[in-house]
């Protein structure tokens, strides 16, 4: 277990294993996403309240889930890198940030397209929407902090620290936003009764969730390779790699 961990922490090894893992993740993601989309859009019955509009959940929920998952990955990888001084951790954190930000945007956009037919408005100050928006701001902060430093190693460490501070703060922001809205308006907002979902609707959703997770794994592997190369530009193994 630990030897595996130490091996993965060595940049050339991580670079090669990321390349080896990416196609598998991508293949699994493609299978699950195609199945989820076909089953969810064609075969699942329309919702008795929301009609066919509920089908947006098949892309909205996985995006929202991934936006949080990518943030946690980023913070944990950054934390590991800060504490044990593992360079690969910074590469993972740097790779996860833009992916997470893109899925946060996707979750916001699909949520607003779902909100229009259901709530009658593209944007409501619903707690979920609002906390997702704040998450997007946090991503912007981390990404621009990393880029603001001329010394990349320093930018890496600063961004990792900010990611950790954010991960402590995300639950607080999340719950305070819920509390805030429950003060002002009652339960007018429609919610999807998740535990009561029919299996014919649930299976494609689960497939989409896992498909998006695998997709995240795949693009993280692909992006990490670039980040590792950038950090190891002066090392012997990279010179050997590009010189050959």
Partner 1 sequence: MSVGVLEAMSLVVRREMRLAFRRPDQLLQPLVFFLIVTTLFPLSLSPELSLLRDMAPGVLWVAALLSSLLSLETLFKGDAEDGTLEQLTLSAQPLVAIVIAKTIAHWLLSGAALVLMSPLVATALAIPVGAFPTMLASLALGTLTLSWLGAIGAGLTVGLRRGSVLLSLIVLPLAMPLLIFGASATDRAIGGEGSAGALYFLAALCVFTCTLAPFAAAAALRITLE
Partner 2 sequence: MHRDFWAMGGYAFFVWPSIGLAIGVLIWNILSARRHHARALVRARRALAMARSETT
Q: CA nearest 116: which of 61, 59, 168, 50? A: 50
**Stretch binding partner 1 (CB under 8 A), from 40-48, 164-172, 197-205, 231-239:** 164-172
Q: Is 124 left (phi over 0), alpha (psi -120 to 50) or beta?
A: beta
State the nearest-atom distance from the C-beta of 178 to partner 1, in Å: 10
79 versus 98: smaller Cβ distance to partner 2: 98
d(CA 65, CA 127): 15
d(CA 21, CA 156): 25
Asked if 84 is part of the footprint of partner 1 (rule: CB under 8 A), the reply reads no
Asked if 183 is part of the footprint of partner 1 (rule: CB under 8 A), the reply reads yes
Q: What is the distance, to the nearest Å, from the Cα of residue 112 to the centroid of all Cα atoms in its chain?
A: 19
Per CB under 8 A, the list member of 32, 36, 44, 60 interacting with partner 2 is 60
Residues 63 to 82 in contact with partner 2, rule: CB under 8 A: 63
Buried b (16+ CB within 10 A) or exposed e, 140-157: eebbebbeeeeeeeebbb
Per CB under 8 A, the list member of 108, 177, 205, 219 interacting with partner 1 is 177
Asked if 137 is part of the footprint of partner 1 (rule: CB under 8 A), the reply reads yes
Asked if 165 is part of the footprint of partner 1 (rule: CB under 8 A), the reply reads yes
Q: What are the distances in angstroms from CA 139 to CA 4, 47, 98?
A: 30, 34, 8
Calculate the dihedral angle through the C-alpha atoms of 59, 65, 69, 71, rounding to the nearest 10 degrees. Answer: 90
Q: CA nearest 159: which of 69, 74, 70, 68? A: 74
Which residue ranges make up the site for partner 2 (CB under 8 A)? 26, 33, 37, 41-42, 46, 51-53, 55-56, 58-60, 63, 98-99, 102-103, 105-106, 109-110, 113-114, 116-117, 215, 218-219, 222-223, 225-227, 229-230, 233-234, 238-239, 241-243
Which residue ranges make up the site for partner 1 (CB under 8 A)? 134, 137-138, 140-141, 144-145, 148-149, 154, 157-158, 161-162, 164-166, 168-169, 172-173, 176-177, 179-180, 183
């Amino acid at each position: 277990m630990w030897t595996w961990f130490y091996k993965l922490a060595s940049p050339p090894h991580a670079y090669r294993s990321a390349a080896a893992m990416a196609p598998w993740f991508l293949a699994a993601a493609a299978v699950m996403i195609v199945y989820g989309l076909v089953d969810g859009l064609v075969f699942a019955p329309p919702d008795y309240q929301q009609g066919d509009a509920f089908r947006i959940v098949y892309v909205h929920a996985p995006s929202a889930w991934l936006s949080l998952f990518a943030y946690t990955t980023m913070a944990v990888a950054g934390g590991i890198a800060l504490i044990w001084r593992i360079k690969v951790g910074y590469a993972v954190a740097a790779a996860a940030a833009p992916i997470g930000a893109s899925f946060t945007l996707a979750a916001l956009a699909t949520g607003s397209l779902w909100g229009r037919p259901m709530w009658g408005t593209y944007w409501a100050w619903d707690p979920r929407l609002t906390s997702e928006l704040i998450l997007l701001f946090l991503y912007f902060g981390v990404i621009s902090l990393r880029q603001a430093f001329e010394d990349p190693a320093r930018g890496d460490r600063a961004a990792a620290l900010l990611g950790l501070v954010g991960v402590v703060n995300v639950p607080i922001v999340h719950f305070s936003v819920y509390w805030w809205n429950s003060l002002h308006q009652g339960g007018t907002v429609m919610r999807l009764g998740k535990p009561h979902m029919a299996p014919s609707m649930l299976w494609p959703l689960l497939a989409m969730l896992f498909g998006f997770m695998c997709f995240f794994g795949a693009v993280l592997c692909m992006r990490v390779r670039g980040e590792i190369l950038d950090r190891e530009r002066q090392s012997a193994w990279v010179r050997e790699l590009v010189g050959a």
